[in-house]
Amino acid sequence: MYKDILDRLPYKSSFRFVDRLSYLSEDEVKGEFTLRSDAFFYEDHFPGNPVTPGVILTEIMAQIGLVTMGIYLVAKGVTKQSFDEPQVLYPLLTSTEVSFHKMVLPGDTVYVHSRKQYFRFGKLKCYVTMTDNEGRRIAEGTFSGVIKHVKQPVP
């Protein structure tokens, strides 16, 4: 579901933190990601007792809660920008304010729910929450950003 949006994510391989989107509209998005125990950041954070770094949790929240919605809004024509020409999307996070409430360990699945606060003048602002599989809050915060378009050069 929502494969067209997932295919537009500019992240690849070890830095793509979206496994699935379960809901997506102009006002909210829900998605999930399972943290693989062999992820590059667990080797050194912390040896023998791996814990997911807060910056990775923030990135998961941003990718699911802000970037996918921004791409969706652009694709739906909510902005004057479109995907008619080949272009590269560069999501730029402009600000975050995140509170963390619980640790996330290798193998855990996290669930992200984002609600749009506003989208105007090319800037998207959302309130994003992350929970575990029992609905307990892991983190929450406000994310803002823009999606910049750069036309791909014709070969």
Active site residue 101: no
pLDDT at 154 > cutoff 60: no
What is the C-alpha separation between 12 and 128, in angstroms, rounded? Answer: 23
Task: Say which DSSP state 93 is in.
Answer: E
What is the C-alpha separation between 48 and 106, in angstroms, rounded? Answer: 12
The arithmetic mean of pLDDT across residues 53-70, rounded, is 96
Question: Phi, psi at residue 32, to the nearest 5°?
Answer: -145, 160
What is the C-alpha separation between 88 and 111, in angstroms, rounded? Answer: 27
Catalytic option among 45, 101, 113, 149: 45
What is the C-alpha separation between 51 and 15, in angstroms, rounded? Answer: 17
What is the C-alpha separation between 51 and 44, in angstroms, rounded? Answer: 10
The pTM of the full predicted model, rounded to 2 decimals, is: 0.90
The arithmetic mean of pLDDT across residues 86-94, rounded, is 73
Task: Give the containing element (helix H, strand E) for 38.
Answer: none
pLDDT at 113 > cutoff 90: yes
CATH assignment of 3-151, among 3.40.50.11540, 3.10.20.90, 3.10.129.10, 3.30.70.260: 3.10.129.10
Residue 2: strand, helix, or coil: coil
Q: What percent of the chain has pLDDT over 70?
A: 88
